[in-house]
Chain A
Amino acid sequence: MGLVSRVIEAAGIPTVTLNMIWVYHHLVGIPRVAAIEHPFGRPFGDVGDAATQTAVLRAALAVFETAREPGHVEHLPFRWHEAPEDVRWHPKEPSPIIALLNRRRRKSQEPNPEGNE
C-alpha cells in the first residue's frame, strides 16, 4: 500500500497511510504514516466498536495537519483490547505463500537420510 500512496501523492493528492507494519516505510518511503498497533484485518478497530473506529479515523486524519515533511511517522497511542495470544487474525487456511514456505521449512528440517552434513 505504501507504493500506492506514493503514486497518489505524486499525482498531487496528499496521503496518510494507516499502517500496522509501519517499518515498511523504511523500505519504500511512504509520504505520511500513521502507525497503529492493531491486529491485521482491523486497522480502525474491532467489529461494532464505533468509538475506536472514529477515534482512529480522527487521529489518522490529524496527521494531514501535523506532518510537515515527507516520511513523517506518527505513532498513534491506541492499545488493542486483547493480548496477542488471544487475537485471531489468521485466515482459516494458510495463504498459498505461507503454505509454500512451510513446506520448504519442513523439508529443510527433515533429517538427512545419509546421516551426514
Chain B
Amino acid sequence: MSEPHRVDPWRFAGRFIARVLGAGIPDAPSVADVPFTPVAKPLAASRVALVSTAGLSRKGEPPFDMDFERKNPTRGDPSFRRLPADTTTGDVEANHLHIDTGYVERDLDVALPLDRLHALARTGEIGSVAPTHYSIMGYQGNDTSALVGQSAPAIAEAMRREEVDLALLAPV
C-alpha cells in the first residue's frame, strides 16, 4: 500500500500567491461551530445542485461587474447568477480577474460539470439534476458581508424551493 495522497494546496499557486493567501490561514482548524446537516437519502435518490465561483453568467444577462473591482481592488462583485440545468458551454461567459477564464469558456465542465452530472443522472448514480445551478465570483477581497448576508441565503432558499438534497460547491 502506498501512502494516501495528501493534497498540496499550494502546488500550482506560485510563491507570491502562496505567501499572500497562506499568511492568513491557521495551521489547524480554528472554527468550533461548523454547521452540519446529515445526509438524508442515498446519492441514487438525491437531487444535486452545483455552485461555481467562476463568475459565470448567461450571455445576454448582466455579467459580473469587473469594473467595480478594478476601481476597488480590495472588493469583488458579491452577486450571484442562476444557471438552468440545460446550460452548455456556449451559453455562458466567465468574468473573474484572478484566473484564466479561457478554460471554462471552452469547456464549462472544467468548473461546472453539468454534462457530467446529467450523465450520472441517466445511469442512476444520482437521483436527479436540480433545475437550477448557481455561480458567484469567488474574489470578495476584505468584505464578504453581502455574499454571506444576501447572495448565499438567496441561493440556499432557491435550492430549498427546488427541493435540492445535496449541493456541490467548487471554487476555482
Give A residues with C-beta under 8 Å from B: 1, 3-31, 35-48, 50, 53-54, 56-58, 60-62, 64-65, 69-71, 75-77, 79-80, 84, 87-93, 95-101
B12 nearest CB across to chain A (Å): 4
Contact in complex: B35, A13 (CB < 8 Å): no
The docked-state distance in angstroms from the alpha carbon of A22 to that of B51 is 17
The docked-state distance in angstroms from the alpha carbon of A70 to that of B4 is 21
Q: Does B69 contact A (CB under 8 A)?
A: yes
Q: Does B111 contact A (CB under 8 A)?
A: yes
Query: B97 touches which one: A44, A77, A91 (CB < 8 A)?
Result: A91
Q: Which of chain B's residues 90-114 have a Cβ closer than 8 Å to chain A?
A: 96-101, 103-104, 106-107, 109-111, 113
**Contact A6:B34 (CB < 8 A) given known A17-B169, A36-B7, A61-B126:** yes
21 A-B residue pairs with Cβ-Cβ distance under 8 Å, sorted by A, are A6-B35, A8-B159, A11-B157, A12-B37, A13-B165, A15-B169, A21-B10, A35-B9, A46-B103, A53-B109, A60-B170, A61-B48, A61-B120, A65-B42, A70-B35, A70-B36, A76-B7, A77-B4, A95-B97, A96-B72, A98-B16
Determine chain B's interface SS by DSSP, over half rule. loop
Contact in complex: B103, A27 (CB < 8 Å): no
Query: B166 touches which one: A41, A56, A64, A71 (CB < 8 A)?
Result: A64
Residues of chain B within 8 A of A7, CB atoms compared: 148, 152-153, 155-156
Residues of chain A within 8 A of B152, CB atoms compared: 3-4, 7-8
Contact in complex: B120, A75 (CB < 8 Å): no
Contact in complex: B30, A27 (CB < 8 Å): yes
Closest 9 CB pairs of A and B: A29-B31, A96-B73, A7-B152, A70-B36, A70-B34, A11-B156, A35-B7, A29-B34, A41-B99
Contact in complex: A43, B73 (CB < 8 Å): no
A31 nearest CB across to chain B (Å): 5
Contact in complex: A57, B113 (CB < 8 Å): yes
Q: Does B26 contact A (CB under 8 A)?
A: yes
**Contact A57:B24 (CB < 8 A) given known A45-B110, A64-B43, A80-B12:** no
Contact in complex: B73, A40 (CB < 8 Å): no
Residues of chain A within 8 A of B100, CB atoms compared: 41, 88-92
Contact in complex: B167, A13 (CB < 8 Å): yes
Q: Does B27 contact A (CB under 8 A)?
A: yes
Residues of chain A within 8 A of B147, CB atoms compared: 3-4
Q: Does B25 contact A (CB under 8 A)?
A: yes
The docked-state distance in angstroms from the alpha carbon of A65 to that of B172 is 24
